[in-house]
A and B are shown apart, each in its own frame.
Chain A
Amino acid sequence: MNGIPLTHILFVSTALFFIGMYGFFTRRNMITILMSVELILNSVNINFVAFNTYLYPQNLDGIFFTIFIVTIAASEAAVAIAIIINLYRSLHSVDVDETGELKF
């Protein structure tokens, strides 16, 4: 583990973040958007863990945060999927552009 410098890990997390960002902007499928959001969250998780391990190995704060985020992301995913399923039931589509019903 000591062989891998911090910058490598940060590079991975940044790449993951922008992949998630790209997916979030370009996809119209709600499930894919949800997945992109998960990617963004996980890139942050990687950062937390990496900084914690490399900079303050005696503390556990970063790891705790990661666990929190994972938990909340799981519940959030459950809620989001529930919404998506309901939308699919009423609209027969999971395309975000079709869900303009509540505008205005």
Chain B
Amino acid sequence: MNSSLYISLIPLLPLVTFVLLGLFGRKYFNSISGIIATFSLGFSCLLSISIAYQYFFHSERVNGVLQQIIPVKFTWLQFSPGLSIDMGIVLDPLSAMMLVVITFISLMVHIFSLGYMKGEARFATYYAFLSLFTFSMLGLVMSTNIFQMYMFWELVGVSSFLLIGYYFEKPSAVAAAKKAFIVTRFADLGFLIGILILSFHAQTLDFQTLITRLTDPQSAQYLSITAGSLLGVSMLTWGLVLVFIGGAGKSAMFPLHIWLPDAMEGPTPVSALIHAATMVVAGVYLVARLFPIFVFDSAALTVVTYVGAFSALLAAIIACTQTDIKRVLAYSTMSQIGFMMFALGVSGHGGEEGLGYMASMFHLFTHAFFKSLLFLGAGAVIHLVHSNEMIDMGGLRKHMPITHITFLIACLAISGIPPFAGFFSKEEILTAAFHANKVVFFIALFTSGLTAFYMFRLYFSIFWRGEVHLHGEHHGEGTLSMKIPLIILGVLALIAGFVPFSQLITSDGIALETHVDLLFSLTPVAMAVIGILIAIRLYKTENNRSDGVASAFGGFYHASYKKFYVDEVYLFITKKIIFNFIGRPVAWFDKNIIDELMNQSAAITAAVSENIKGLQSGKVQGYAMYFFWGILGLSALFIYLFN
């Protein structure tokens, strides 16, 4: 079996679909473009699963460690003998897991969109963008070197931009797309500088070599990067923190999270794919990829820990007060990614120490299933009631039983109720945090209680409280293509926790024995149950208890409702400070100095030509006259000179 060909097919199939649908889709096969894209991706998904299966269970282990395989690699750009940019595909436990997650979630979203996006005029364009996104995301996780990853990173950003702005007739969608692009682009600047610092000192772009060189305290490269320092912080820390800023931008970590809630302007399946399961975990993936280096630098790892923990808490508090169901889910995503981040932050390398790393990846894996399920469920709800606001919903359990059940499973999973998927991964995260950092552990514990509360607030507001009035004819729960992904994902959200994850993906590749400590699990589960009970009391039936609680919190509630004014702070900084003190002077300089210079030179030219254009009369006699006077003058000159 020629495995490198099969592996290359995984990202290439979506790329081909993108080109095909992007160029010809709208004109020739708009209505069947969804089917084409789905089949192509289905094939890609099957390949990923079979390759991951082969890799995990039938490939050779050396000392119990799964070896990294690079089936495809070629030089793409050769700048100088020492510097080239390669393209390649890497297969290791991390990328194999991501391959499965991405292609699978993407497939579910493709199928769901068949029903959800039916009848859209730009149906083919939608699928073309989805394929582009899938291609770039696959390229991102399979990158062999950091520069290739950066390129796909940007491609992912572009496709996210295109999909958020899919409804470009809506000004809010356009603004959201721009915001997402600009904020992540700004963060990517940090990523780029980080890449430059790391690769300059390590003299390589390749991940494997980079890690080997920067984790060997004796190597010249390690000595060089730790010797240099800026503002009292070593270049290694700078490089890693800057790379992490790039990751934080994509993963919506505080304070770069502002784009994620607005990104919900895109079609809901897109939110499920990009802004819940795949793209936003790219930052976590990036940190995990460079994890051996991060472990070497406790300062950078501390930044990761606290940014993650703070984002998790902040987002959970905001999620409790939002009324737009997609925004609640967006903040919940941000909170869960915060969990993954600080799990990486508290982790060590190897053995029991590496529990946080494994837990983070495990949570990434399970989160992908239940969060995309939540988004798809929300999509089905929005499809029915044509509104994003909780106030327009209620009592929907009678109208959409399948959505109701699957949504409930996902809510239980994210709240960490056993035996649902989220329980296992969150348990590992909390254990890791407990052993490493008590402060973070208590933040995490409180946040997981909050998570249960706001998820059930959402659940009861949609499916229980009150009675929605579906006026006119409505199309019921949705087509079969919308129900199937919900069911599949529901089953997975139920069982994904039983995957023997610690045997497969750990920081050093050696299988880790984990055990669920019942006594330890008691506290988080109790927290979750308390959260759920509060939600039941406040939101299950129509009552005004929630208003009472809200007014008891007073200003805090209001601040949370306003998302802690982070957007306002950004607006203040950009509009009042940057625009006034940097933008305006620069604009003045541009208008009055640069433009004026050009205008003046144009005006001088125009004035001169205005004055001399009379000379060119078009009359031959006139020209002959100049000629005559010229000859006369020259004659006079020569006579004067030679006489």
Give the residues in chain A near B621, CB-CB below 8 Å.
24-25, 33, 96
Residues from 238 to 266 in B contacting A, C-beta threshold 8 Å: none
**Cβ A25 vs Cβ B624 within 8 A:** yes
User: Cβ of A100 < 8 Å from any Cβ of B?
Assistant: yes
**Cβ A21 vs Cβ B628 within 8 A:** yes
**Cβ A100 vs Cβ B618 within 8 A:** yes
Interface string of B600-630 (1 = CB under 8 A from A): 0000000000000000001111001100100
A24 to B618, CA, bound (A): 16
Interface string of A26-43 (1 = CB under 8 A from B): 000000010000000000
A100 to B628, CA, bound (A): 23
**B621 to A, closest residue via Cβ:** A25
Give the residues in chain B near A100, CB-CB below 8 Å.
618
A24 to B620, CA, bound (A): 10
**Cβ A24 vs Cβ B624 within 8 A:** yes
**A-side interface size class:** under 10
**Cβ B624 vs Cβ A97 within 8 A:** no
Whole-angstrom distance from the CB of A82 to the nearest CB of chain B? 18
**Cβ A25 vs Cβ B618 within 8 A:** no
Main secondary structure of the interface of A (DSSP, over half): helix
User: Cβ of A8 < 8 Å from any Cβ of B?
Assistant: no
User: Cβ of A103 < 8 Å from any Cβ of B?
Assistant: yes
Main secondary structure of the interface of B (DSSP, over half): helix
Residues from 62 to 91 in A contacting B, C-beta threshold 8 Å: none
**Cβ B620 vs Cβ A25 within 8 A:** no
Whole-angstrom distance from the CB of A92 to the nearest CB of chain B? 20
A72 to B624, CA, bound (A): 22
A97 to B617, CA, bound (A): 11
**Cβ B619 vs Cβ A25 within 8 A:** no
A24 to B625, CA, bound (A): 9
Whole-angstrom distance from the CB of B629 to the nearest CB of chain A? 10
Interface string of B460-484 (1 = CB under 8 A from A): 0000000000000000000000000
Give the residues in chain A near B620, CB-CB below 8 Å.
96
**Cβ B624 vs Cβ A103 within 8 A:** no
**Cβ A103 vs Cβ B628 within 8 A:** no
**B620 to A, closest residue via Cβ:** A96
Give the residues in chain A near B618, CB-CB below 8 Å.
100, 103
Whole-angstrom distance from the CB of B144 to the nearest CB of chain A? 64
Give the residues in chain B near A25, CB-CB below 8 Å.
621, 624-625, 628
A21 to B621, CA, bound (A): 10
A103 to B624, CA, bound (A): 17
A100 to B619, CA, bound (A): 9
Residues from 40 to 66 in A contacting B, C-beta threshold 8 Å: none
Whole-angstrom distance from the CB of A75 to the nearest CB of chain B? 21
Give the residues in chain A near B624, CB-CB below 8 Å.
24-25
Whole-angstrom distance from the CB of B621 to the nearest CB of chain A? 6
A21 to B618, CA, bound (A): 19
A100 to B620, CA, bound (A): 11
Give the residues in chain A near B625, CB-CB below 8 Å.
25
Interface string of B77-97 (1 = CB under 8 A from A): 000000000000000000000
The 5 closest A-B pairs by CB, nearest first: A103-B618, A25-B625, A25-B621, A24-B624, A21-B628
Given contacts A24-B624, A96-B621, A103-B618, 4 further A-B contacts (CB under 8 A): A21-B628, A24-B621, A25-B625, A33-B621
Can you spell out 14 A-B residue pairs with CB atoms less than 8 angstroms apart?
A: A21-B628, A24-B621, A24-B624, A25-B621, A25-B624, A25-B625, A25-B628, A33-B621, A96-B619, A96-B620, A96-B621, A97-B619, A100-B618, A103-B618
